[in-house]
Amino acid sequence: MSDLPVGTQAAADAVRAAERIVVLTGAGISTDSGIPDFRGPNGVWTRNPAAEKASNIRYYLSDPEVRKAAWLNRLDTPVWTAEPNLGHQLVYELERRGQLRAVVTQNIDGLHQAAGHDPENVIEVHGTVRSTRCWECGDVRPMREALDRVRGGEADPPCLVCGGIIKSDTISFGQSLVPEVIDRAFQVSSECDLMLAIGSTLSVYPAANCVPTAKRAGASVVILNGQHTEMDRHADHLLIGQISEVLPVLVGR
Ligand SMILES: [Zn+2]
């Protein structure tokens, strides 16, 4: 307990009193599930800029070799075997208690839903790897169907409806967010009485702007992250520490 950041107890009191919490999550909440942080100091993209280029929509659409490599990567991403960890379970606990307005997540791993949430309450601003979407006609299907086709020998499986290029239903670099999804994230942020940002450096926009949106609407802001964030100045309670140690105290379990 002595290692807890200063202010943890005051933040826990604020969480206990809140009635409409929006939890904003980033990669840090999923690293304990074995999913690498792509943008952090030890992130995949930080160490390998070529991997970041491969996830750019322009290269994906124009180069079949980039798509073939992407499908091979998808076959063994750690997401398929990952389980929700204590952090995801504690966020779900807020829903179970009736204190949660919504989860806004920058993660694409689907682990919040796997922890038990009503899917309606999870707003995935950067999409999900658990579905595919056709770039031409918008047809959406479970990712496992496409992966079965790749295993069956289709190196770059086309859309079954129109023959177009399909990809994971995520927001790649160079691709716009889905307006209805990000709008909903800002809407719930403007309606919450407490914004709890967990495991994000809050440096990816526009998702990070959910924090000042909540603040302007009068919400308390609690930031819990392993390092400082770009939104520290908005925090009523800034907790730099381990999610697995601090979040159990915040949620009171
Ligand atoms: Zn299509």
pLDDT tens digit sequence for 130-151: 999 999 999 999 999 999 999 9
pLDDT tens digit sequence for 89-120: 999 999 999 999 999 999 999 999 999 999 99
Q: Rounded to the nearest whole angstrom, what is the distance from the C-alpha of residue 123 to the centroid of ligand 1?
A: 24
Q: Rounded to the nearest whole angstrom, what is the distance from the C-alpha of residue 168 to the centroid of ligand 1?
A: 13
Query: Considering 112, 126, 234, 237, which one is annotated as catalytic?
Result: 126
Distance CA 23, CA 7 (A): 19
Predicted local distance difference test score (pLDDT) of residue 56: 86
Q: CB of 134 within 8 A of CB of 162?
A: yes
- Whether the pLDDT of residue 1 is over 70: the answer is no
Predicted TM-score of the model (pTM): 0.93
Q: Rounded to the nearest whole angstrom, what is the distance from the C-alpha of residue 136 to the centroid of ligand 1?
A: 5
Given the DSSP bridges, would you call strands 194-198 and 220-225 parallel, antiparallel or unpaired?
parallel
Provide the 8-state DSSP code for 101.
E
Which residues on neighbouring strands pair with residue 132, listed in sequence order? 141, 168
Q: Rounded to the nearest whole angstrom, what is the distance from the C-alpha of residue 139 to the centroid of ligand 1?
A: 5
Is 112 an active-site residue?
Answer: no
Distance CA 170, CA 244 (A): 27
Distance CA 159, CA 132 (A): 9
